[in-house]
Structure 1
Amino acid sequence: MFAFIARIVVGHPWRVIAGWLVVAIAIIVFSPDLEDHTTGNNQDFLPTSFESIQAQDLGNEYFPATSGATGTLVVSRTDGAAMSPPDQQAAIGLATTLQNEKIPGVTAVTGSQQSFSPDGKVAALQVAFAGQPGDDIVNDAVPLVRTNATTALEGTDLQAGLTGNAAILVDSNSAYDDAENVITIATVIIILLTLGLVFRSPIIAVLPIVVIGVVFTAVRGVTAFAAELFDFEVSTSLDAILVVVLFGVGTDYIVFLLFRYREELRQGDIGDHALILSTRVVGRVVASSALTVIGAFSALFLAKLGSLNSLAPGLIIGVALMLVTALTLIPAVCAILGKHLFWPLGPGPEPKRSPFGPISRFVGHHPVVVVITIAAGLIVLAIFSTGYKSTYDTLDEMPSDTPSQEAFSTLSASLPPGALSPTQVYVKTPGPVPQDELATLSTNLSQVPGVASVTPPKLSQDGTAALINVILVEGPYTSEALDAVEGPIRDTAHSSMPDAEVLVGGQTSTLVDVRAQLNTDTSRVFPVAVVIVGVILGLLLLSVLAPINLLVCVGLTFAATLGALVIVFLHGAGYDGIDFSTPIVLYLFVVAIGTDYNILLAERLREEFKNGHSPAEAARIAISNDGPTVSASGTILALTFASLTLTGLENLQELGAGVAIGVLLASLVMAPMLVPGLSVLQRSAFWWPANKTKPPAADMDARVASAT
């Protein structure tokens, strides 16, 4: 099949390119805007069976004025001193001013003497929005509240900062937009420099940037079509991840083809024949790699947490389009450019010295030493993964100069951090809510460890529902707050009024449910991804033991990578925890993308073994020829993901560092040394039930004939 595709593409390159342009332009012009299907609200990503979602629904029905997005407008003096009576009057007056301005999307701005902190340094005015966090009307209202508050305080010694779930989400979206720009610029520079150095050709350096840039735009369009057709939302992090996935994976596939093409030209093959042969051989590897990535990402569909399963369509569409690009558009461009592709120095002669020459001989002669040394090093790193600690504090993960972060810092210096987003306890009864039982509930909640205060109950208009706001001692996104809500607060709320429907909602309660669902999703996604990847490897390599070896190596690499993250961020940087989504996303990237390099080396090992070479000689040939390919590809991909560390967002920094470490381990250690070492140790059993089918290739004519 790949030989057929190669002959068609190389034989009709202009038609292939014209077809691509027509399709790409049609997608760009007619696709909906992906931004219309993007959200960062965790509640949008939870199944309706969870308590926090049911509490939100009850709040929407009985307390619509306070059940939407919320904000805390933190007013303080610019010099940090306690506010004087005139300052306090101005602060309360700010609430009245903003309320009277009738800002679109704002239902109420309130303040009273109870809004001031005990030390008199802060006034916490409450802002209620007409919608949920992430809604367009709320996102548009946040900057208006900030601007109008600043304008109203001009000429005073006061300043105001808006925080809360609405403002945090707006700032988060802005941070992701900035991150995408940083990632794109860094990725382009990385690809230009690395490919320029490896191939010494400006054309090859620019080629992936132009091609993948077009593919990225098309992927966003197709994903938007899918989101509109199947009615799903995607996470705000999708664009940033798509950039590095497409540029990373796409560059890998292009580099795989170019290395093999250059190898054939250096060995004396002619242009079109060399390109057809390279496309056929590499096409099988690239297709298997892409299917592995797609299969692993498909496991995300089993996750019920929307922030995870909503990543699957975009990533799958991206890799699928990149596969088609690698099999069609790239060979077509290469066919048109011909000898000019490697301008100005051409493919050059075979390198006289390569570090992979000695490595290949050492692996072939000392496989036991190689396997034991590498495995021991990975196991040591893997041990540190047991110290993994998660965090759900999305506010703390943003840059410290983020407006909502700065306002929260001012607030938490004078008031309990939990005042940022109170936990909401809703009560629903068939008739009027019993006042004595409601008072008992309030008293019991106030005595729970981790609770700073409880506001007086508020009744619905018909008297059959009540709302109690619980202020936590810790910040609403901290692990301590999550533990308090998940355990004693929910237990106390449910047991205090057993004959009523009592539901605990709010941001902290939502994160409690996210944490619970994430644990369930992880137990589903991990094994399914392994099975899918294992089946694809088995079909590619036509072996039983080889895929098992590769999966064990990949699993060990993932554990070692997570251990390295623990060392870097928890022990080194002193982070409180690693973002809760990092392990499962990192797992999929390391298993899927890291397997690319294993596939390339394993397929070359299998090719040389079937050509009649001994396991040691097959390893020498495979490492010598494809070692430079995986090392260059892996380095480019690792540097691409490492660009995430420049974003200022801790969750992206952790993901970027993790994937970079995992890819380097896979491309520099596992694929070119550990896997060949295992193949030498296990000899023919590694490829069972395959057998040697022919003697070593004698001439180039046979190889060209196999391509054509």
Structure 2
Amino acid sequence: MIRALTGYATRHPWKVIALWAVLGIVLSALVPTLMSRVTQHSTGDFLPRTYDSAAALHLAREKFGEDPDATLVTVLVAREDGKPLASADRKRIEQGAKELSGRRVVMPVEDDMPRFLVPDRSQTPAVAPATTAPDGRFALLSVRLTGSPSDTGVQGVYRTFRDDARGHFAEAGLRTGFTGGLAELVDTTDDHETATTVGGILVTVLIILLNVLAFRSVLAAVLPLLAVALIGGVAAGAVVGAALLSGRKLDAGTPGLINVVLLGIGIDYLLFLLFRYREHLRERPTQDAREAAAQVSGRVGTAITSAALTIVAAFATLGLATFGQFRSMGPAIAVAVLVMLLGSLTLMPALLAAAGRKMFWPSKALKRTPVAGRAARFGELVTGRPLLMLAASAALLAALSAGLIGIRMDYGRDASGSTTRAAATAAEISRTLPAGVSDPTSVYVTADDGSTLAPARLHGLARALAEVDGVGKTAPTVLSQDRRAARIDLYPTADPQSQQARDLVSGPIREAAARHTPAGTTAVVGGTAAVFADVATAVGHDLRIVFPVAAALITLILLLLLRSLLAPVVLMLAVGAGFAATLGAAALLFQRALGEPGVDFTLPLVLFLFVVALGTDYNILIADRIREEMRRPTTARTAVARALRHTTPAVATAGLVLAGSFATLAATPGSAQIAFAMTLGILLSALVLALVVVPALAALLGRALWWPLRPAPVQDGRARHRTTEAEPVHPGSGVYGKGEATVSR
């Protein structure tokens, strides 16, 4: 199957290239519009109904008419001189709220972007007075917008509304401040706009520069980016199509994560092909370029397929998760990687066949026999002192893994350390009102028999909730329109997204609700803090399921690829050590050095899947080449040294490219931990595990690594003739020792 795909692509390169170009361009244009139909931003929507906060969210929508797509912004209005609001000021604020609530806000669209390709988020915000500070120094307005805060169109609408409101109240001598999740995100995005732009430029320059240094070629530097862009467009279309057909919703951050993954692995796979293609052409200067492309693509395609399937298998296991954000993200990435695999087996071989030897123009490297360089010396170092190299690597990994001692999970973003204008507004509000005034914790009560409720029946519950230490204020009990449900809003003194608020909700508030709920009724606790408290429980459950299942599937794929019982164990132990070291390093930096509450709750699972699955790519490439070299009639250590000589440039370059891709996530607000951990994890996987640990173990174990089917050296003349045609060895290569340079397999 693999050779059939690569063979067709190399025989008909221009047809394959044209097909991918059309699909990539068309789907890239349609995806932004379609993606909005399959994304949702409410974290609570990703929890099963069995969790308290998810049940509360359902009641809020069903009984109280809350819009599931609503995004709330709190507006603070105060006098410029800092004095308490006068009666005239309050009237102006009320009148301003009415006027702003009647204005339609048109979503801004960039001039170079066709409007029909952009989902229109234009809308009329609902603006209403909320409360006034006890000292009368400011009033709060509640603004309701529709759409996900991560939607760039919604962000544009908010910016327009914010500027209009600021100008409107400024005419009356009033200043404004804006806070809430959307306001915080927009302020952070704007503050990081330059860094995001520069980061994107830098990663592009990094990829091109590394390719130029590796190949001294124009096409080899540019084609990887073009190819991955086309395949990425098709992959995004496939993800959207799968989501529409299955009815699953994606987290708003999933598309961006998919883009980074595809950029990294796509360029990795093309680099694997390019390095092997150049090596092949050097050894066969008279062979037809298309024939060479077919042979190389078929050979490397097997390793690429196995590497991609490990990623697919790992992320597919997220379909077993109870937390919907994981359950939708995993299959989405798996679908995207499958499309990238298809592109790697068709478009990329087609590009090799179409370009031929011009792929490496203007470099003259194809016309000369390479001499032993740094890669060869590195291979001799690893195989000459395998115990020393293994011990040094183990010491490094162990030191980083020490950070796992006392590691804590952080299930929300506490904005207390933020320096944005939204955070400053939130701090101003919290000085006179409870921090949760703009994002209350709500207790919903329903009668078990479906009968109607009365406020008097819930008086004892409301009083008990008000007496909970940490609850600053409670609102009067509100009944639903059919009087079959009631809501009691609580305003905690802690930031709703802080660990303190989550501990308050999961402990004292839920305990008080359970003890004081009237007989014959059921109470559930909802709100941001309650959602994240339940997410913590769901994630803990999912980690215990996904980790072993993903590890088992990856091991099975390695067994099938390597046809060995010992080699898969060695590779899995290596990537496991890399995972522990990476997570420990993240804890050391963010939790210990920077004093953050802990590591992001998604980090262990996402890191496990990325580092184990993507890191296994490099291990597969090096292990596959080591086994191939061990079929030559030479010593095991010489075979490992030769494998390192040929694969070190490819693995090192690919690792740096993928690490650079993940590093750009640091410019995305709230992604610093994931950016750091995945960048470090890929670097450890490529430069330490794949190039040192696995080869050192192979040098120590020799052909026993492939037990029970050890790759015995080929000796008979007929087999020697076959393998010489497939993989000739040039004299003076500097890989085999004295007297071995001219030995063929």
Task: Calculate the TM-score normalised by the size of structure 1.
Answer: 0.90
Q: 1:6 to 1:433 in 2, by over 3 A?
A: closer
In the aligned structure 2, how far is the partner of 1:642 from the partner of 1:424?
39
Matched, 1:117 2:133: yes
Post-superposition CA distance 1:481-533 (Å, at most 9, x none) = 11111111111112101511111112221222222111111211111111111
In the aligned structure 2, how far is the partner of 1:433 from the partner of 1:133?
35
Q: 2:358 is matched with which residue: 328, 332, 340?
A: 340
SS in 2 for 1:466: strand
Per the TM alignment, residue 190 of structure 1 is displaced from its structure 2 partner at its CA by 2.0
In the aligned structure 1, how far is the partner of 2:481 from the partner of 2:169?
36
In the aligned structure 1, how far is the partner of 2:567 from the partner of 2:705?
5
In the aligned structure 2, how far is the partner of 1:669 from the partner of 1:80?
59
In the aligned structure 2, how far is the partner of 1:488 from the partner of 1:427?
17
Q: 1:397 to 1:261 in 2, by over 3 A?
A: farther
Aligned to 1:691: 710
More divergent stretch after superposition (100-109 vs 355-364):
100-109
Per the TM alignment, residue 149 of structure 1 is displaced from its structure 2 partner at its CA by 2.6
More divergent stretch after superposition (240-249 vs 550-559):
240-249
In the aligned structure 2, how far is the partner of 1:223 from the partner of 1:14?
26
Please tell me the residue identity of whatever aligns with 2:52: E
More divergent stretch after superposition (142-151 vs 572-581):
142-151
In the aligned structure 1, how far is the partner of 2:396 from the partner of 2:451?
66
Aligned to 1:587: 608
Post-superposition CA distance 1:332-384 (Å, at most 9, x none) = 11222122111111335454353333332232232222222211220121110
SS in 2 for 1:564: helix
Partners of 1:219 and 1:314 within 8 A in 2: no
Q: 2:241 is matched with which residue: 225, 233, 256?
A: 225
Q: 1:208 is matched with which residue: 213, 218, 224?
A: 224
Please, what is the CA RMSD of the aligned residues? 3.3
Partners of 1:543 and 1:689 within 8 A in 2: yes
Aligned to 2:14: 14
Partners of 1:16 and 1:332 within 8 A in 2: yes
In the aligned structure 1, how far is the partner of 2:647 from the partner of 2:221?
20
Per the TM alignment, residue 17 of structure 1 is displaced from its structure 2 partner at its CA by 2.2
Partners of 2:150 and 2:252 within 8 A in 1: no
SS in 2 for 1:36: coil
Aligned to 1:374: 393
Per the TM alignment, residue 215 of structure 1 is displaced from its structure 2 partner at its CA by 1.3
Please tell me the residue identity of whatever aligns with 2:708: P
For residues 270-309 of structure 1, the aligned pairs below 5 Å read 270=287, 271-309=289-327
More divergent stretch after superposition (695-704 vs 5-14):
695-704
Q: 1:261 to 1:65 in 2, by over 3 A?
A: closer
Matched, 1:702 2:722: yes
Aligned to 1:527: 548
Please tell me the residue identity of whatever aligns with 2:75: L
Matched, 1:438 2:438: no
For residues 315-354 of structure 1, the aligned pairs below 5 Å read 315-348=333-366, 349-354=368-373
More divergent stretch after superposition (134-143 vs 225-234):
134-143
Aligned to 1:419: 437
Partners of 1:122 and 1:414 within 8 A in 2: no
Aligned to 1:466: 486
Please tell me the residue identity of whatever aligns with 1:188: T
Please tell me the residue identity of whatever aligns with 2:663: A
Matched, 1:454 2:470: no
Per the TM alignment, residue 265 of structure 1 is displaced from its structure 2 partner at its CA by 2.3
Q: 1:14 to 1:62 in 2, by over 3 A?
A: closer
Aligned to 1:158: 174
Q: Structure 1: which 5+ runs fail to align?
A: none
SS in 1 for 2:171: coil
Q: 1:575 is matched with which residue: 596, 620, 631?
A: 596
Aligned to 1:604: 625
Per the TM alignment, residue 583 of structure 1 is displaced from its structure 2 partner at its CA by 1.9
Please tell me the residue identity of whatever aligns with 2:15: R
In the aligned structure 1, how far is the partner of 2:336 from the partner of 2:189?
22
In the aligned structure 2, how far is the partner of 1:487 from the partner of 1:23?
53
Please tell me the residue identity of whatever aligns with 1:479: Q
In the aligned structure 2, how far is the partner of 1:210 from the partner of 1:79?
57
Post-superposition CA distance 1:105-138 (Å, at most 9, x none) = 5556124xxx233454432233456799789998
Aligned to 2:409: 390
Post-superposition CA distance 1:519-564 (Å, at most 9, x none) = 1112111111111110111111100111011111101101100111
In the aligned structure 2, how far is the partner of 1:562 from the partner of 1:234?
26
Q: 1:393 to 1:256 in 2, by over 3 A?
A: same
Matched, 1:241 2:261: no
Partners of 2:251 and 2:328 within 8 A in 1: yes
Per the TM alignment, residue 200 of structure 1 is displaced from its structure 2 partner at its CA by 1.1
Partners of 2:443 and 2:488 within 8 A in 1: yes
Matched, 1:517 2:533: no
Aligned to 2:651: 630
Post-superposition CA distance 1:159-184 (Å, at most 9, x none) = 22343356567778999999986664
In the aligned structure 2, how far is the partner of 1:593 from the partner of 1:681?
25
In the aligned structure 2, how far is the partner of 1:225 from the partner of 1:631?
35
Please tell me the residue identity of whatever aligns with 2:359: L
SS in 1 for 2:170: coil
Aligned to 2:585: 564
Post-superposition CA distance 1:600-626 (Å, at most 9, x none) = 111111112233433212221111111
In the aligned structure 2, how far is the partner of 1:303 from the partner of 1:220?
23
In the aligned structure 1, how far is the partner of 2:549 from the partner of 2:318?
9
Identity of aligned residues (%): 33
Partners of 1:276 and 1:707 within 8 A in 2: no
In the aligned structure 1, how far is the partner of 2:361 from the partner of 2:57?
63
Please tell me the residue identity of whatever aligns with 1:396: A
For residues 391-406 of structure 1, the aligned pairs below 5 Å read 391-394=410-413, 396=415, 400-401=419-420, 404-406=422-424
Aligned length: 702
In the aligned structure 1, how far is the partner of 2:389 from the partner of 2:81?
63
SS in 2 for 1:449: coil
Per the TM alignment, residue 249 of structure 1 is displaced from its structure 2 partner at its CA by 0.3
Q: 1:144 to 1:28 in 2, by over 3 A?
A: closer
In the aligned structure 2, how far is the partner of 1:83 from the partner of 1:268?
85
Q: Structure 2: which 5+ runs fail to align?
A: 106-122, 729-745
Matched, 1:262 2:282: no
Partners of 2:60 and 2:66 within 8 A in 1: no
Aligned to 1:508: 529
Please tell me the residue identity of whatever aligns with 1:629: A
Aligned to 1:481: 501
